[in-house]
Structure 1
């Protein structure tokens, strides 16, 4: 393996299309609740709208030589973005500040898991998120059935907040106490 990491400009988000679509298929394969909700989830319906509604976006990719084998997409968004026709992702009154940070998408091809790539992508994403002094609440939304991801984020300091859509998504939260 010849691993390297690169931060992509938003104009290059398209480079993550294939992996984003793989992520949606992976999540559907794991889910035990409302699997049909993933039928319409893909790069066009998940990543593009998120990029457009965010104030700031951050995409970091892991590469083996020149091949992208994993990515993490994070954003800073107005908290109201997380209350829409699909769901209300958290209690708006529990977030004091105007904006929230979110590790929105995170995926590594299966054959590259267990090499520390996830930890590196996670740390790069969190470092970026924590640079915004006006943000104190960080969220990660984990699809049901993805217990490996849930445990990974808990080991990284995120805690269970609540479930939405009858358990379809587990909401994890971390507060920046320094803000």
Structure 2
């Protein structure tokens, strides 16, 4: 295995279409609370709108040779972005600055999850987020049923803040 990590410019984001769609299918497959909500979630409805609404975006892909085997997508967005028709993700008054950081999407293909790839992607994302003085708060939203991801983020120092949508998403905060 020959892993390479590459920061992806926004104009090259289309190469993540398949991986993003795989992430949504995986999340649906482990969900026990309202898995049907994932029916409409895909690259066009999740990743593209997030990129368009964000002030700053950071995407890293990891490849084994030429094959994309995972990615992380993080952003800096106005806190109001997280109160929309779908849900209010956190109490906006609990955030003192106008912007928040978010580790928004994180995916590693099955078979590649025990090689330290996740820790490296996570650290790259956190290093990027921490360079912005305009944020204090970093959020991670974990879909229900994804207990491995939840435990991973807790080991990395994030704490559970609350659940939203009757347990559909667990909100973690730095």
Output the CA distance in 2 between the equivalents of 1:12 and 1:127: 22
Output the CA distance in 2 between the equivalents of 1:44 and 1:72: 17
Q: Does 2:36 correspond to 1:36?
A: yes
Output the CA distance in 1 between the equivalents of 2:51 and 2:134: 20
For 1:23-80, what per-residue CA distance to the aligned partner results, in whole angstroms no more than 9, with x for missing partners? 0000000000000000000000000000000000000011101111000000000000
Partner of 2:9: 9
Output the CA distance in 1 between the equivalents of 2:48 and 2:5: 22
Q: Taking structure 1 as the reference length, what is the TM-score of the superposition? A: 0.97
For 1:119-139, what per-residue CA distance to the aligned partner results, in whole angstroms no more than 9, with x for missing partners? 000000110000101110000
Q: Does 2:146 correspond to 1:146?
A: yes
Indicate the SS of the match to 1:133: coil
- The unaligned stretches of length 5 or more in structure 1 are 175-179
Indicate the SS of the match to 1:39: helix
List, as ranges, runs of 4+ consecutive aligned residues in structure 1 with deviation greater than 2 Å.
none
Output the CA distance in 2 between the equivalents of 1:134 and 1:154: 24
Please tell me the root mean square deviation across aligned C-alpha atoms, in Å. 0.4
Q: Does 2:98 correspond to 1:90?
A: no
Q: Taking structure 2 as the reference length, what is the TM-score of the superposition? A: 0.99
Output the CA distance in 1 between the equivalents of 2:77 and 2:134: 11
